[in-house]
Structure 1
């Protein structure tokens, strides 16, 4: 296992009707994810409804997942916000709660310059001793991590990986060739091409319900069995389309997990609404 894992899941956050966190749902979800092959659990990321989680809830969630996962998987805590001071606090709270690493999204809404992005990321990386995975998702944040920014940030001793939800393979290959950053695909539709181009692993929404299949995909690529990898990827297309291509991925994923009785409720917090 790498310091981040390879088959990472962007965990949903189980909730009760009304929005309170569901401890029974969390326990069952973590056990399900570990049993189906996840070696990295990303807590409080976008799929985990991070914008609606308070600082206290985020820390409690990390603490609970760490307690249930033990040493069976790495636990990455989503700590990025639009506010650097808040992100620093969340990073320190996640470290105190036992997280193994941090997931740091580019500051959203404020649309900082690349110099501002670098200063923000360095401030958070300096706040703890934990390794950091940057999260590049300009469709949500409004600001992309430029290749020059990624190359500069790679010089920081604790910034060691990128969750790439930008989808620019040519850019990813450039950064891979010029840094030691580990790349993780953050777009399930592109898992196969990213792995084939040298990604260290996946941070997958689909893994919430099919981590055994994403694990098989990773192994097939690493074994050099491209035919098998293509077949696995093609087999996952209908599920990927259902979860990600219509409605809200978080709500869709919770609906499937609840349908399979892995979590007791498909509840989400506004402004999200439950999937039909």
Structure 2
């Protein structure tokens, strides 16, 4: 793998769900198989393990480290593996970062501390503390509708000066704010909202960290590549074609519908852990319709 500072984790990244067995235990072999499918068939350049899509709030620290190690062993020679390590406790986040590094992760995904809603000085201190404590490149995750706190543009400007903070997963939905950060820093922006990938590309983003990309990775990557080579018409056609699943995968929690789709395709996924609940028959029927509309029939 060659490192590209412009797009440090490639173009197409999937926030991978965590396969469980029917009894709710971790399916380590299933995780390795799912990772291989995402790389070989869905054309991913990198994978995020232990993100929210991977049900990180309900997996133990030991399970998180086991997952990263299994995925690195399965595909880490071909793609980069990022480990989600964000919590609302800086000390715990640093411990998770160290565990991810021991397990062989190539990078970290670091979400804004949630629920406690720290001021921007606390957000900045949190990010810099983790960056100082780790040797891995970091993608910051800005998703204020979940965390309760947006990363301010000035905070981005300051933390971007740290050599290990290199990228952003942007789910804020503010193209103007994203434009200013990309203008003023060297941070690589990845859309954290599947449907906003093309709009963010238009102001300088380099790719996506997706959920629907468990199912429509090739089309999504083709859209990104078309835009990059100046074929805006093709990129727009693909955006419109894939839109039913870009949005449909989030009719309820994305993890629920992604696992339902993977199970339907006979791929490792299994059930969700509480408090999530498995998809209903009605939700599965709507998912089939959304997939068919996007050209990705289950």
Tell me if TM exceeds 0.5: yes
CA distance in 1, matches of 2:155, 2:247: 32
Does residue 235 of structure 2 align to residue 268 of structure 1? no
SS in 1 for 2:276: coil
**1:119 alignment partner in structure 2:** 125
**Structure 1 position 131, deviation (Å):** 0.5
Residue deviations 1:80-116, cap 9 Å, x none? 0011111000001101110000000000111111000
TM-score by length of 2: 0.90
Matched, 1:62 2:65: no
1:264 Cα deviation after fit: 5.3
The offset of 1:18, in angstroms, is: 3.0
Q: CA deviation at 1:44?
A: 0.5
Bigger RCO of structures 1 and 2 (CA < 8 A, at least 6 apart): 1
User: Which residue is equivalent to 2:158?
Assistant: 152
Paired with 2:196 and 2:69, the residues of 1 have a C-alpha distance of 32
| Residues 1:128 and 2:134 aligned together | yes
In structure 1, C-alpha distance between the alignment counterparts of 2:110 and 2:134, rounded to whole Å: 13
Question: Distance in 2 between the 1:110 and 1:40 partners?
Answer: 30
1:25 paired to 2:34: no
Distance 2:136 2:240 in 1: 36
Question: How do residues 11-90 of structure 1 correspond to structure 2 at under 5 angstroms?
Answer: 11-35=16-40, 36-90=42-96
Q: Using a 3 Å threshold, how does the CA distance of structure 1 residues 241 and 97 change in structure 2: closer, same or farther?
A: same
Q: Secondary structure, in 3 states, of the residue corresponding to 2:14?
A: strand
Q: Secondary structure at the match of 1:172?
A: helix
> 2:217 maps to which residue?
211
The number of equivalent residue pairs is 274
Are the equivalent residues in 2 in contact too, given 1:137–1:165 (CA < 8 A)?
yes
Which of 148, 168, 178 in structure 2 is aligned with 1:172? Answer: 178
Secondary structure, in 3 states, of the residue corresponding to 1:47? helix
Counterpart secondary structure, 2:52? coil
- 3-state SS in 2 of match to 1:236: helix
Cα offsets for 1:1-57 (capped at 9, x unmatched): 533221000111111123211123212211110112101100001111111111111
Deviations 1:116-138 (A, max 9, x none): 01111111111111100000001
Q: Is the 8 A contact 1:47 1:249 kept in 2?
A: yes
Q: 2:113 is paired with a residue of what secondary structure?
A: coil
CA distance in 2 between counterparts of 1:69 and 1:234 reads 31
Deviation at 1:241, TM superposition (A): 2.8
**Contact kept? 1:248, 1:275, Cα under 8 Å:** no
Cα RMSD for the two superposed structures: 1.1
- Any idea what SS the aligned residue of 2:33 has? helix
Distance 1:152 1:238 in 2: 38
Mapped contact 2:169–2:190 kept (Cα < 8 A): yes
